[in-house]
Structure 1
Amino acid sequence: MKFGLYLPNFGPYGDACVLAELAVLAEEAGWDGFFLWDHLTRYWPTNVADVWVSMSAIAARTQRIRFGALVTPLARRRPWKVAREAVTLDQLSNGRLILGVGLGSGGGADVEWGNFNEEMDLKKRAVMLDEGLEIINGLWSGEPFLFDGQHYHVKESSFLPTPQQQPRIPVWVAGNWPHKAPFRRMARWDGMIPQTNPAVDDDIDELQQAIQFTLSERTSPQPFDVAYSLSPTQAQEPQRYTAVGVTWLLVQLYPTHFGADWKSDWPLEQMRAYLQAGPPEE
């Protein structure tokens, strides 16, 4: 089991310098991963940091800890730009980047998609996600690559250098259970970021179903990660999650853990104290 921190990129965290400082402290405290939400704006006024610029600062200031954006909604990005940025971060960090992707189907769709005339149809976004991943993977190969899809078209192009990580930078895909399509997509890549029913207090059964379904769809013999986010209280029992196949526990602190409103200042100082105490014990 590996343990990571899962932080927003807004509010008091909406500062690349703060995020890089926290990543350094997390590495010193023995955490395995440092992962960020990827938002452009929020539906209330607050500071927001660009996640990909912030990850450059994290890559430059740390030596060991894995990091990534969980998740980047690929449909609002140019896949060839993501391919180039990811390889550069992979090289800068000596092979520590993880690429997390998804549809971007969570809260804030109006302000993050509609306000900027981005694609609102989730079915179209799903096609864009699949095409985008195929393009990114093809460009990472370093070989001449071309693509002709519904949404994207690439004339023969070659991207160098290739990623330091081989056979590629790990790609983790997010999705909401019990919808099966995103979990079939997860099975084709290197890891999964499942989200289960938030109304269920103890979602271990749903989580196990999601993992078992995804693994049943796998055809590759390559290693496969399962990253699951939870509260500090849930993280005190990591063996429950190990037993159902989770390989990464990602701990996040919400304002509601401290009796605050969702839009209130996120608990930066509590997060700093929590991460400096080190990861949970198995």
Structure 2
Amino acid sequence: MKYGFIFTGTDPNLAVELAPLAEASGWDAFFVWEGIWATDPWATLAAAAMVTERIRLGTMLTPVPRRRPWELAGQTMTVDRLSNGRVILSAGLGVPADVEQRFWIFEEDPGRKVRAELLDEGLELLQPLWRGEPFEYEGEHYHAHRTDTMLPPAIVQEPRITTWVVGVWPRKRSMRRVARYDGWIPNYTPPEADGIDPVLQQRTYTPEIAAEAIAWIRAEREQAGLADAPFDVVQEGTTSGTDAEADAAIVRPWADAGATWWLESDWSVPAKRVARYARDRVRAGPPRV
């Protein structure tokens, strides 16, 4: 089990302060969130890369359908090179307008189907973009003409920047997308539910359901010839940082189910308390099992 801390605040200076503190306190990764009309996460992570040596750096998460893949490729490549290959890209569809209108103040939500198509093509297009070599691409939403000039440097990581993808269990199309990449960020919708309800998910998603989904992913990856490639399973949650035994009891069932990363976050902390909370929780270290 590895452990990451998600900084839920917005101050880039504080984020850059926290990254080396997280490294010194035993965390394995440090994440910032990516919004619309918000602090630039990749500029923040570039600065964090210059003051850390070991810790992984990433977003939680990047709405790939909202981004131009070539610009995202340049940002992630830059941080990957500055950090010597420590970047994690967490990719998802993005928050729909009916859940949070704040994320759609500049454009209309094209709907889940189109966003899913954009996610598939965006992830596919990132692969040759990261190599920094001439290529051509023709998709439904994106195309690229071949060029042999002004090519950017390639990323450090091989074969790509570690890419975790949101997948909705038990929706097989969504989960097959996950199985092609490097990690699963779980969403869950009970079979009887009409749609994806974050509150319902929090109440009904259990380690037992996670174990069932992880077994399915492993079988899918084996069938695709990917069984021997590294693959992460993420679980996000909140622990106290003050009671090691109680914190371990929260994390252990997810580790037993097959999760490989625990991401510590508390999105309920008010903005005026985020700095103190983040410093204290990061300094206390991860909830090791």
- Same fold by TM-score, threshold 0.5 exceeded? yes
SS of the equivalent of 1:61 reads: coil
Measure the CA separation in 1 of the matches of 2:130 and 2:268: 39
Q: Deviations over 1:228-272 (max 9, x none)?
A: 10111685233322221111100112327xxxxxx6645331221
Give 2:118's match in structure 1, choosing from 123, 128, 133: 128
Structure 1 residues 92 and 175, CA gap change in structure 2 (3 angstroms) = same
Q: Which is worse superposed, 265-274 or 165-174? A: 265-274
Give the distance between the partners of 2:10 and 2:271, measured in 1 at CA: 14
Paired residue for 2:171, among 159, 172, 179? 179
1:153–1:81 CA distance, 2 compared to 1 (3 A): same
Normalised by the length of structure 1, the TM-score is 0.86
Residue deviations 1:50-80 (CA, integer Å, cap 9, x gap): 2122111111121111010121001111001
2:248 counterpart of 1:236 = yes
Q: Let me know the Cα RMSD of the aligned residues.
A: 2.0
Equivalent of residue 34 in structure 1, options 19, 22, 30? 30
Change (3 A) 1:118 1:96: farther
Residues 1:235 and 1:81: Cα distance change in structure 2 (over 3 Å): farther
The answer for unaligned runs of 5 or more in structure 1 is: 42-47, 257-262
Counterpart of 2:267, as a letter, is Y
8 Å Cα contact 2:95-2:103 kept in structure 1: no
**TM-score normalised over the length of structure 2:** 0.84
Gap change, CA 1:192 and 1:15, over 3 Å in 2: same
Mapped partners of 2:92, 2:209: distance in 1: 20
Higher mean Cα deviation, 86-95 or 239-248? Answer: 239-248
Q: Which runs of 5+ in 2 are unaligned?
A: 189-200, 241-245
Q: Deviations over 1:71-94 (max 9, x none)?
A: 100111100111111111100011
Question: What percentage of residue pairs aligned between the two structures are identical?
Answer: 39
- Structure 2 counterparts to residues 182-197 of structure 1, below 5 A: 182-196=174-188, 197=201
Contact 1:105–1:122 at 8 Å: present in 2 too?
no
In the comparison of the two structures, how many residue pairs are matched?
A: 264
Offset from partner CA, 1:131-174 (integer Å, 9 cap, x none): 01111101223332111111111111464321111111111101
Corresponding residue number in structure 1 for 2:154: 162
Q: State the shift of 1:111 in Å.
A: 2.0
Deviation of 1:199 after TM superposition, in Å, equals 2.0
Rounded to whole Å, the distance in 1 between the matches of 2:174 and 2:5 is: 24
Which residue number corresponds to residue 209 of structure 2?
206
Report the Cα offset of residue 40 of structure 1: 1.8
5 Å-filtered alignment, 1:35-74, equals: 35-41=31-37, 48-74=38-64
